[in-house]
Amino acid sequence: MANKLGAPTIRQGGTDDKYLTEEGVSWVTTLQDMLNKVGNYGLTEDGIFGSKTLAAVKDFQRRAGLTVDGIVGDNTWNALYDFWSSGQALPSAKITPVPSTKITPIPSVELPSALGKLNWTTIGIIAAIGFALFMMFSKSEPEPVRERPRKRSRRRR
């Protein structure tokens, strides 16, 4: 089956000099342009099928329901052309839910003050602020030890 654009099959490592038509059409740059318009991938349209273009191709293939192989063959070109020409939105990425973990709430502590109930997180934050203030305003060096004044002897002369 030929694709609707008559484009060659291209893969990572391909560059413009390898994939040019007789008319000078750059297929890698065309691919990058179409991916940007269809999926807003933010690719630099430099004509180099590098790792970012490969990641965009694989994401497009996954979101379009195609075989994810990173190779832009007839099926990928056709799907890309269909989305591009119709202005149709590319389906959102499917998010696989992460199995939930049970979250145990932190117990509250009754404080005999106007503060009421505080959880351990709040107490930790207050303690950290207090420690930071203490360190900021405490003297960095201890005061020198003063010698005791000597007692004058009361000798009589």
Structural domain includes residue 13: yes
Where do runs of H (alpha helix) occur along 5-157? 27-39, 51-63, 74-86, 120-137
pLDDT tens per residue, range 71-128: 999 999 999 999 888 887 777 755 455 566 666 666 665 555 555 566 667 777 888 8
Rounded to two decimals, the pTM is 0.56
Cα end-to-end distance, the chain, whole Å: 128
By residue range, what is the domain housing residue 121?
108-137
pLDDT tens per residue, range 66-75: 999 999 999 9
- Burial (CB < 10 A; 0-12, 13-18, 19+), residue 80, is buried
pLDDT tens per residue, range 118-136: 666 777 788 888 887 777 7
Structural domain includes residue 65: yes
Same domain? For 43 and 3 the reply is yes
pLDDT tens per residue, range 2-53: 788 888 899 888 766 677 766 777 888 889 989 998 888 899 888 888 899 9
- Amino acid identity of residue 100, one-letter, is S
Report the 10 Å Cβ neighbour count for 84.
Answer: 17
Q: What is the dihedral of CA 74, 77, 83, 85, to 10 degrees?
A: -110
Structural domain includes residue 156: no
Same domain? For 63 and 129 the reply is no
